[in-house]
Amino acid sequence: MDISILKQTAQALMASGKGILAADESTKTIQRRFEKIGLQSSPETNLAYRKMLFTTPGIEQFLSGVILYDETIRQSINGVSVPKYLESKGILPGIKVDQGLVDLPNSAGEKVTEGLEGLKERLSEYKQLGAKFAKWRAVITIGEGIPTDNCIQQNAERLAEYAKLCQEQGIVPIVEPEVLMDGSHDLAKCWEVTAKTLKAVFNRLKAHKIVLEGMVLKPNMVISGKESSIQASSQEIAEATVQTFLEVIPKEVPGIVFLSGGQTPDQATENLAAITKIGGPWQLSFSYGRALQDEALTVWVGKEENVQAAQKSFLERAQKVSEARSTR
């Protein structure tokens, strides 16, 4: 493990005015996205869509990294491997390494993430393919009697084991514990569960001797549930989020990149701006999927003649989000 390389990569991901594009949708997820525009997913169509995003002129002004899916990291753009193409634009290539969610035994409504089996070998291969960082997502659901301590602890442990394997390979781990927006819970409940989850995650990271300066955290914002009758304002979300983080996230962590978690592009942008205005001891940025892509996807709809208009939409949203992370 070369700690200096880990630190350099983490710092590069948190470059001023830039954030990370999550373009790591699984085969099933991208099919669901495409169904909304009447398109059938295939490796060729998936690449055409991602090529539209990655080749957007000027996008490197706003992106420090892109999280790829296993299919994409093996593909090429204009005869150049996707990782090398991104690096040629000054964008770091990353890779999603978890293998999705499974039911937590004996706990209805709760999930754990799988993918630790064979991860060491997969990380070695991904490094050879050009990956500089990786991502593992855990989800915590708020509902009747959940989340349980068991669910939080199991997900925290798996995140820590993943992070350790990454750092041993010289790959920066993005640690993503997501408290889902799904549900009718209020801001206070999200605050409570987010704090408890992050506390458990950092306890396990410490136990596994993770180099905090060589990782990036990708959490949810502290936000009202989608079905809650009382929706918190951007200012309330910002204050709750920063206060939670100040209580549980060590200052040694170089950066926090928020997930959008089902927020609309405008919501994700406005809430990020409010959070970064308050600030903290870490760099605060974004790692958005749908919040960066949805508008461009709606314009593109799989047609070559729409590529330039879709790229314009993508660049405009990326610039807005970049400006939101630069409000402080």
Known active-site residue 218 = yes
**Residue 31 burial (C-beta neighbours within 10 Å; 0-12, 13-18, 19+):** middle
What does the alpha-carbon distance between residue 299 and residue 250 come to, in Å, rounded to a whole number? 41
Catalytic residue among 110, 176, 178, 295: 176
What does the alpha-carbon distance between residue 149 and residue 93 come to, in Å, rounded to a whole number? 35
Which residue(s) pair with 140 in the sheet?
Answer: 179
Catalytic residue among 18, 51, 111, 218: 218
Residues with catalytic roles: 176, 218
